[in-house]
Amino acid sequence: MRILAIDTATHLQSVALIDGEELIAEYTFNCPVTHAKLLVGTIELLLRNSNLTIDHIDGLAVSLGPGSFTGLRIGVSTVKGLALASAKSVVGVPTLDALAFNVPFTRNLICPIIDAKKGEVYTALYRMDEIKGLIKMTENLVMDPRVLLETIHEPVIFTGEGIKIYGMLINKTLGKLATFAPVQVRTVHAASVAYLGLSKFKQCIIQDVASLAPIYIRPSEAEIKWRERELLTKVP
């Protein structure tokens, strides 16, 4: 089954194509401008260099977040447009799942962290099972990293670009309990989104295109300001 996958949850843009367990192509790069200006061109380039068209694709997968609100909206809307135009099925993959998927072959707890600004991180806890694969132990969360670290009392592998900001805090708080994933697997790769998407397709967990939406966890700045204005207008 050929799966085309997209991730635009962070400053990186990643597009990948797999055929079953085989990786056909993946382009991942630091996007210097808004994802909207390059994403469609990146998809077209990947398909062209793979000697394929969208008609050869069996399904689409997209990273749903949490992450950059703008990036997520662009990625999800692009995939929805492709799905509607080509009549392809689509699945959504939480971004934290894709990060944790990059850290196999460990019995330790896995904790991806993405900087959520405002002194918080997006995170969740996982375990890797030899038979069941990646098991999610918590919901997607947004929280103060100090609160997160207070809940961990066993060996844990951290991954994600949040390490750059909170690595020292993690080491100071958890000491030898904490291990950092290698730098090359700390970013979301669309190939991971594709393989997790493939698993969903095999389980027939296919999403309705119209209802496919990003996972924001918390409201955007625009929503917060709108709610504040609404409250102010109700003040007598």
What's the domain count of the chain?
2
Indicate the DSSP class of residue 63.
Answer: E
Q: Which domain, by its residues, includes 176?
A: 103-185
**Residues 72, 22 share a domain:** yes
Per the rule left: phi > 0, alpha: psi between -120 and 50, beta: everything else, 119 is left
The answer to whether residue 140 scores a pLDDT higher than 60 is yes
Instruction: Judge whether 25 lies within some domain.
Output: yes
Judge whether 24 and 17 are in contact, CB under 8 Å.
Answer: yes
Q: What is the pLDDT of residues 49-101, one digit of tens each?
A: 999 999 999 999 999 999 999 999 999 999 999 999 999 999 999 999 999 99
Last residue of a domain, one of 165, 185, 205: 185
**Residues 51, 16 share a domain:** yes
The answer to whether residue 33 scores a pLDDT higher than 80 is no
Instruction: Judge whether 120 lies within some domain.
Output: yes
**Residues 27, 85 share a domain:** yes
Question: Residue 136 is part of a domain; what is its CATH number?
Answer: 3.30.420.40
Q: How far is CA 54 from the centre of its chain?
A: 23
**Residues 149, 169 share a domain:** yes
Instruction: Judge whether 82 lies within some domain.
Output: yes
Instruction: Judge whether 227 lies within some domain.
Output: no
